[in-house]
Amino acid sequence: MPPGAGADGGRVLSLTTLAVAPQKESNMATDDSEATTANPGSAPADRIPEGESAVASLTGEFYRGEVDRMATWRGRLDQTTNWAVVVVAAILTWAFTSADNPHYVILIGVFGVTAFLVMEATRYREYDIWRNRVRVLQQDLFAQMYAPDPSDESDWRTELGDELRNPRFEMSFQQALTHRLRRSYLALLLLLLAAWIARITVFEASESWEQTSSILTISGEVVTAVVVGFYVVVVAIAAYSARGGRVREFEE
């Protein structure tokens, strides 16, 4: 063997090994990818933690997240109500500042408050989703941990899992609308009605209410009839809905 042939052969063997190794690793990665593609459900399933400790940890994280969402949407509800109150205060202040200011700005305020009511009813349906999830965990998990009830046979895990897979509104728009009407907006609407009556009678006592309640070419009788009809419908809806199942913050 010529001198140095052993060393050269060793170097060639090493270079050949280094060249083949990445190819083997690439082939192994390809095989793993093909195996994952052939069985797509295995990889996500392997990542799902098992055991009571893992479930308890995930449940705690899930509960904190749902409470945060519920608080966020509750804040949005309060924000809408605050806007309505500010609008009512501004309109009443301006309407009674001078006799030259038209009375129908109060009726515009009635329309604005009604728009806020519709907006808040939509938000309340969103809020009710997160509130229901929080109540399920509080009632069926935490309450059972602190004070077990042997008679409780609710399948809350299945129900909650189905709700997470197929989220849906638990409350109809009508229920949300009547609930927020009774809780907040009926008082604001009645306040605007009282202010409008005072504006067309007491504030301008020198003229008849038929004259002061008119709007441009629309007679006062027609305007009054429309206002009275609107409020009859609103009060009837609030009274009728109060007879049925009322929506509470923590309805069972």
What local confidence, expressed as pLDDT, does residue 166 receive?
A: 85
Does the pLDDT of residue 130 top 60, yes or no? yes
pLDDT at 194: 95
Tell the burial category of 185 from Cβ atoms under 10 Å away from its Cβ (0-12, 13-18, 19+).
buried
pLDDT of residue 122: 93
Question: According to the model, what pLDDT value does residue 209 have?
Answer: 78
Weakest mean pLDDT among 25-34, 176-185, 208-217 = 25-34
Q: What's the confidence (pLDDT) of residue 192?
A: 96
pLDDT of residue 18: 38
**pLDDT band with cut points at 50, 70 and 90 for residue 5:** very low
In 3D space, the residue among 70, 103, 119, 143 whose CA is nearest the CA of residue 223 turns out to be 103
∠ Cα 17 23 24 (to 5°) = 85
How many angstroms separate the Cα of 17 from the Cα of each of 4, 30, 206? 20, 20, 108
The residue among 27 and 213 whose pLDDT is bigger is: 213
pLDDT of 123 > 90? The answer is yes
Global confidence as pTM: 0.70
Flag whether pLDDT at 152 surpasses 60: yes
Task: Indicate the domain borders of the chain.
Answer: 57-243
Mean pLDDT of 164-182: 89
CA within 13 Å, CB half, 105: 18
pLDDT, one tens digit per residue, over 12-65 is: 334 344 344 444 444 434 444 444 444 444 444 444 455 566 667 788 888 888
**In angstroms, rounded to a whole number, what is the distance separating the alpha carbons of residues 69 and 230?**
36
- The CA radius of gyration of the chain, in Å to the nearest whole number, is 34
Band (88; pLDDT cuts 50, 70, 90):
very high
Question: Which amino acid is present at 252?
Answer: E
What pLDDT is stored for residue 231 in this prediction? 97
Q: What is the mean pLDDT of the chain?
A: 77
Q: What share of the chain is helix, strand, coil (3-state, %, to 5)?
A: 75, 0, 25
* 10 or 149: which leads in pLDDT: 149
φ, ψ of residue 204 to 5 degrees: the values are -130, 70
* 28 vs 95, more confident: 95
Query: Which tokens is 214 given?
Result: 């008119």
